[in-house]
Structure 1
Amino acid sequence: MSEYPHILLRAEEKPLEHRSFSPAVIKTLVDAGYPISVERSSTDPKFKRIFEDSEYEAAGARLVDTGVWPNAEPGTIILGLKEIPEEDFPLKNDHITFAHCYKNQGGWEKVLGRWAQGGSVLYDLEFLHDSEGRRVSAFGFHAGFAGAALGIKTLAHQLQDSSSKLPSVETFTDGRGYYLNEDELVNPDSRGSHQG
C-alpha cells in the first residue's frame, strides 16, 4: 500500500475536447509513488482523448473502465481537466479539476453544492497557486503550440487567398473537427500548409 492517495484520471465527457493530463505527467506521479488509475478513453471520436490508453499503461497507470469515477473507493482523488458532468449525486471524493464556478457562471451553486453534500473538497486548478502566488496550472506549451500553428495556417491562407475565409477544421480532418496529433496539425503533406 502506498503512503500517497490513489489518483483516478477520469475520462472526459465534453464533446470535441480531447485534452487530458499527459502520460508524462502520469509517469511523474507514478515515479513519485502515487498509485494511478486511468479510465479508458471513449472510442467515440467526439470524446476520444488525444493520448492512447496504451501510453498511460506504459507510464505505469492501471486502466479501468470508463465512468467508474463516481463510485471510486473513499479517499481516491479524482483528476480531470474539464468540468464534471452536471448531475445531482453528491461528490464523495476530492476532485482536482477546472470547475468554472467562482466567477458567477450559471449554476455554480448547484455544482459547488455537490462537494458540500458529499463531504469532499474541490481543488480548482484555476485557483491553485504556488508560494510565489503564481498559478500552478495554466495554459502550457501545447496550448501555445496549437494557437501558434493555427495562427500560421490562417495567415498562410490569407496570403494565398484573401478573398475567402479559412475553411473549417472539419475540411482537413476527414470531418472529425480536430487534429489527431500535433504532426497532423503542422505537417502540410500534399495539401499545402494553408490547407489544414
Structure 2
Amino acid sequence: MPSDRTNRIMSDSLHLWMRHEARPTERRAPLTPEDAARLVAAGVRVTVEESDRRAFPLTAYTAAGCATAPTASWHEQAPDDAYVLGLKELPAGPDAPALRHRHIYFGHAYKGQAGARELLARFTTGGGALLDMEYLTDEAGRRVAAFGYWAGYVGAALAVLHHRGALAAPLLPTDRPALDALLASGADPADPTTALVIGALGRCGRGACDALVQAGLEPTRWDLAETRDIPRPALLAHDLL
C-alpha cells in the first residue's frame, strides 16, 4: 500500500486501472478489495476490469467504491494517464499493440529474459513505461512487492498435499482455516516424510516451516551458515525441499 505521504501527493490525479490477467491459470489479484477501499478513501480513482478468473468477485470492488470496465479493455478505454496494474505478462504476439500507458506488473524484462526485447520495444513505440514490481522500492530501499511469509506457507502446504496425494485439481481459492485443517488431517506421528527448508530464517522460509509444522512435520532448517558449503547427500536425503 502507498504511504500516507504518497497518498497526499498523488490522490488528486492518480487513476489506477486493474486489468484482467491474460494468463489462463492466474487467479490472484495485485489489489485486494480491502486495499482498494483504502485507496478510494484516500481520493484515488480505481477502475477494475471484469474477470471470470480473479479470486475476488467484482462486487467486492464495487462495494469498495471502484468503477468497473469490460474484460481486457485497458488498451482501448483506459485514459492515457492511468496506471495499468496487473501481476503477470501482457498478451503478446505479432499483433500485440504498442503500449502507451504506465504499466505496473512483473514484466520480467530487465534481465534479458525471453521476449524482453520485444516487450520493451512495444513500450518504446507507444511511449509508455514499465514500472516493474521487482524493482519498486520504498524510501529505505526495500522492495515493496516480494515473496513473503504466505508465499512460503502456501508453497510448502501444496508440496505436502501433493506428496500425500491429497492435492485436488484444479486449485480453487481457499482460506487459512481450511488449508490448515487439510494439512492437519494428514498428520501422522509415524509419517517418515522428511522436509528441508533452505533459507529458513527468511520471510518465505519462516512461512514454509510453519506450514510443515502444521502438517505434523518437523523440517530441517538451513540458512546462511548451513548453505555456505551445501552437503549434497544431506540435501538429497530429504523428501521435500
TM normalised by structure 1 equals 0.78
Match of 2:26 in 1: 17
In structure 2, distance between residues paired with 1:99 and 1:34: 24
Match of 1:159 in 2: none
Unmatched segments (≥5 aa) in structure 2: 1-10, 188-241
Shift in CA distance, 70/3, structure 1 to aligned 2, threshold 3 Å = same
Partner of 1:75: 81
TM-score by length of 2: 0.64
In 2: Cα distance, 1:184 partner to 1:40 partner: 27
Q: Deviations over 1:73-110 (max 9, x none)?
A: 22111000111111431111111111011111111010
Q: Are residues 1:108 and 2:116 paired?
A: yes
Structure 1's unaligned 5+ residue stretches are 43-47, 155-164
Match of 2:64 in 1: 59
Q: Which amino acid aligns with 2:66?
A: A
Q: Secondary structure at the match of 2:131?
A: strand
- Equivalent position amino acid for 2:16 in 1: I
Larger Rg: 2
Q: 1:49, CA displacement in angstroms?
A: 1.1
What residue in structure 2 maps to residue 32 of structure 1? 42
Structure 1 distance, partners of 2:45, 2:15, is 5
Partner in structure 2 of residue 147 of structure 1: 155
Structure 1 pair 69/193, CA: closer, same or farther in 2 (3 Å)? farther
Per-residue deviation at 1:140?
Answer: 3.9
Q: Please tell me the residue identity of whatever aligns with 2:92.
A: E
Runs of 4+ in 1 over 6 A off after TM superposition: none
CA distance in 2, matches of 1:28, 1:132: 23
Q: CA deviation at 1:192?
A: 3.5
Give deviations 1:9-65, integer Å, cap 9, x for gaps. Answer: 0011212221112112212211111111100112xxxxx111111111122111211
Aligned Cα root-mean-square deviation (Å): 2.5
CA distance in 2, matches of 1:15, 1:168: 23
CA distance in 1 between counterparts of 2:185 and 2:165 reads 13
Identity of aligned residues (%): 36
Q: Distance in 2 between matches of 1:97 and 1:128?
A: 10
Question: Structure 1 20/128 Cα, relative in aligned 2: closer, same or farther at 3 Å?
Answer: same
Aligned to 1:128: 136
Shift of 1:135: 0.6
- 1:153 is displaced (CA, Å) by 4.0
Structure number with greater CO (CA < 8 Å, separation at least 6) is 1
